[in-house]
């Protein structure tokens, strides 16, 4: 089945069910933790809350890649960069909140004290303010995406060439952030966060609040994405995906549409990164590795791109399996991930949702045959 047929089916019928499911989970988890004793079967462990919150962050990233790849036909292998930049932007605020609680009892982060720095670099100014951190989360990745996208789309770079340069971009930033003199913690990055808005992070209640915020954010972004792809703007995006040259001959400039959705997608990744950091407790340059960006594309491919909910399902499915494999068989995880991508490409070109749709079609055809008899 074609991508546009899957999109029409699942965006109109199933996205609301997924939204309701995420909403129920966001309400159910706090109820189980607050009203049920810790030794009860129904009590949700802190580990499960943290893991679920992380998967919800990944679902936002999967939604972002679906908008540019599934609906616009732009395969990005660099979205891990925008995710990491959002995490670093908010991580700077979290590091400023440590204050004198660090190992060296200095107002500077431990890694700056270790490097014998006497003051914060200029780009750390105002990062102790929450509002400024949120502004950085939104503006920095969006600005980078806009500049990169403008020159790439204006030059009409697309297909595998665009994918390669996005991968090169994220690799270059990863090497840059690995350097200690950049002022971002080098190889270790940011960790050992203490509080956010004056509230301790490492408490069960705060973890629940962060989990609920992530779930609500995912729902809001899912509804916003649904409105975008259902609008005239979204129809032009799918037209660009299917036949960009015809869109140009119809009087539309693909540059403006591709640049807008590309920048918006980068902002979604940055928001996910900002929500990810306080829940996981660390951000380092490894989040920018090209393999992470490739894995993001695998989520969309496995779930079913161009469906909004498909990549979300793929992100939950792949990361759920990953959490098991990296504990039980850590040395085989990458082999399994590669096999999963190959099998989904060869036998599930429309992802899991496409498989479900084909099964439904076969059942309907059988029912019609029985009725005709």
pLDDT of residue 362: 75
Number of domains in the chain: 1
Residue 79 contacts by C-beta under 8 Å, 6 or more apart in sequence? 61, 64, 65, 166, 265, 266, 269, 293, 296
Window from 4-18, 47-61, 84-98, 134-148 with minimum mean pLDDT: 4-18
The separation between CA 288 and the C-alpha centre of its own chain, rounded to angstroms, equals 12
pTM across the whole model: 0.89
* N-terminal to C-terminal alpha carbon distance within the chain: 27
Is the pLDDT at 320 greater than 60, yes or no?
A: yes
In whole angstroms, give the CA distance from residue 165 to residue 238.
23
pLDDT, mean over the chain: 85
Q: How far is CA 155 from CA 141, 150, 244, 301, in A?
A: 21, 8, 14, 27
Q: Quick one: average pLDDT of 190-198?
A: 89
pLDDT band of 75, cuts 50, 70, 90: very high
Window from 130-144, 207-221, 273-287 with minimum mean pLDDT: 207-221
pLDDT of residue 105: 63
Window from 162-176, 284-298, 328-342 with minimum mean pLDDT: 328-342
pLDDT of residue 309: 85
pLDDT band of 197, cuts 50, 70, 90: confident
pLDDT of residue 79: 95
Window from 62-76, 89-103, 270-284 with minimum mean pLDDT: 89-103
pLDDT of residue 15: 60
Is the pLDDT at 194 greater than 70, yes or no?
A: yes
**pLDDT tens across 239-251, in order?**
999 989 999 988 8
Window from 106-115, 159-168, 311-320 with minimum mean pLDDT: 106-115
Q: Which backbone phi and psi does 352 adopt, to 5 degrees? A: -60, -40
**pLDDT tens across 117-153, in order?**
888 899 999 999 999 999 999 999 999 999 999 999 9
pLDDT of residue 19: 67
pLDDT of residue 305: 85
pLDDT of residue 2: 46
Strand 282-283 and strand 195-196: the pairing is unpaired
pLDDT of residue 9: 43
In whole angstroms, give the CA distance from residue 53 to residue 44.
13
Q: Are 166 and 76 in contact (CB under 8 A)?
A: yes
Range of the domain at 107: 3-372
Is the pLDDT at 7 greater than 50, yes or no?
A: no
């Amino acid at each position: 089945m074609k991508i546009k047929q899957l999109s029409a089916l699942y965006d109109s019928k199933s996205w609301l069910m997924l939204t309701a499911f995420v909403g129920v989970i966001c309400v159910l988890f706090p109820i189980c933790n607050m009203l049920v004793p810790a030794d009860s079967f129904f009590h949700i462990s802190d580990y499960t809350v943290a893991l679920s919150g992380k998967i919800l962050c990944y679902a936002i990233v999967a939604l972002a890649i679906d908008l540019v790849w599934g609906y616009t036909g732009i395969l990005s292998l660099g979205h891990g960069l925008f995710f990491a930049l959002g995490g670093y932007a908010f991580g700077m605020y979290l590091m400023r909140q440590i204050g004198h609680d660090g190992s060296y009892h200095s107002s500077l982060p431990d890694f700056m004290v270790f490097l014998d720095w006497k003051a914060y670099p200029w780009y750390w100014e105002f990062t102790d303010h929450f509002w400024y951190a949120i502004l950085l989360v939104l503006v920095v990745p969006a600005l980078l995406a806009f500049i990169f996208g403008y020159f790439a789309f204006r030059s009409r770079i697309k297909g595998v060439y665009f994918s390669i340069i996005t991968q090169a971009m994220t690799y270059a930033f990863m090497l840059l952030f690995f350097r200690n003199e950049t002022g971002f913690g080098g190889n270790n990055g940011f960790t050992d966060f203490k509080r956010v808005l004056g509230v301790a992070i490492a408490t069960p209640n705060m973890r629940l609040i962060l989990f609920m915020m992530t779930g609500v954010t995912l729902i809001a972004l899912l509804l916003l994405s649904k409105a975008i792809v259902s609008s005239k703007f979204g129809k032009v995006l799918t037209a660009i995906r299917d036949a960009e040259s015809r869109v140009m001959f119809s009087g539309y400039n693909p540059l403006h549409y591709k640049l807008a959705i590309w920048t918006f997608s980068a902002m979604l990744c940055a928001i996910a990164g900002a929500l990810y950091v306080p829940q996981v407790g660390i951000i380092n340059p490894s989040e920018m590795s090209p393999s992470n960006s490739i894995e993001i594309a695998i989520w969309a491919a496995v779930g079913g791109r161009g469906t909004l909910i498909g990549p979300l399902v793929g992100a939950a499915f792949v990361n759920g399996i990953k959490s098991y494999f990296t504990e039980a068989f850590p040395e085989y995880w990458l082999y399994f991930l590669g096999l999963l991508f190959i099998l989904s490409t060869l036998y599930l070109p429309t992802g899991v949702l496409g498989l479900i749709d084909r099964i439904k079609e076969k059942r309907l055809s059988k029912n019609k045959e029985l009725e005709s008899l």
